[in-house]
Amino acid sequence: MLRIMTLLIVSYTTLLFSAPVPGQVATTLQEVTPRGGIVPVGGLPEGMSGIVVHSFDEGHEAIVAVAIVTRSGADRSEVELRPFTALRQPRLPTAKAEPRSGDRVVLGYLYDRLLPIVPNARSFEKAKKALDRYTLVHPDLFAVELAGDRDALPHRNNFQKICTKLHLGLVMFMFKERSDFIDCNSWKRVAQSDLHAADGELVAPFYNRFGPIEPPFYDFSNYELKNFDRFYTMVEEE
């Protein structure tokens, strides 16, 4: 009986912490409108982003736009279309094609790669175990980027910059009672789970193995972070 109860608890925990992140959706651009486009898939979270792929011939295709869900009904969704710049190479020519009806759309592109922003080491280990099917990019890499820019506290622009540089789809903020999953392109919350932070000493501005990030020597502002949840909730709303 105890063995059965243990298995039930493990199963429930797995379901609770298993990917609340929307799965990848492959569809087509049904039509292009003055405001963006339409895809024949409904029930998508607002802010979910992906790519539009145009096929030139049987052997050549290219990403020509970013698609962001702005409204979703039962069987179709409206998407905003933005230029795709993540792989821009100034020394090479870029595709001149515009998104058009029939182009392939992949929503949830790179949602398997995310940056966990958590308050301490125990929370990071908890996130790794709960999201073991995903690639969690270590926050050390983000800390190094911030240190190079002398940004003591990160904001939306810092996150979106690192998302582009490291090819990430989501940023996860782990709070005391929940985790929020923010789309890197739209900067909207596309998922939420009951996965919450573990007790432990706060590492500012988020868990990393380098410690506090120094601001520019000429900046005398107060960058002390005391309330992790309050600060990153504000960052989500930027």
Query: Does residue 235 have a pLDDT over 60?
Result: yes
Mention the CATH class of domain 25-107. Answer: mainly beta
**Mean pLDDT score of the chain, rounded to an integer?**
86
Q: Which of 5-19, 117-131, 178-192, 210-224 is the least confident region?
A: 5-19
Count how many Cα atoms sit within 13 Å of the Cα of residue 74 in the half-sphere of its side chain.
0
- Band of pLDDT at residue 213, cut at 50, 70 and 90: confident
Residue partners of 21: CB distance under 8 A and separation at least 6: 108, 111, 114, 134, 170, 181, 190, 191
pLDDT in tens, 9-38: 333 333 334 457 899 999 999 999 888 999
Query: 68, 186 in Cβ contact below 8 A?
Result: yes
DSSP state of 199: S
More confident position, 19 or 200: 200
| Confidence at 217, pLDDT banded by 50, 70, 90 | low
Q: What is the pTM of this model?
A: 0.86
Residue 5: what pLDDT? 33
- Residue 2 scores a pLDDT above 50: no
CA-nearest of 175, 169, 163, 152 to 230 is: 175
Residue 61: predicted pLDDT: 78
Task: Give pLDDT tens digits for 82-135.
Answer: 998 876 555 445 556 788 999 999 999 999 999 999 999 999 999 999 999 999
What are the domain boundaries of the chain? 25-107, 113-236
Q: What is the pLDDT of residue 112?
A: 96
Evaluate if residue 166 carries a pLDDT over 90: yes
| HSE-CB for 11 with a 13 A CA cutoff | 6
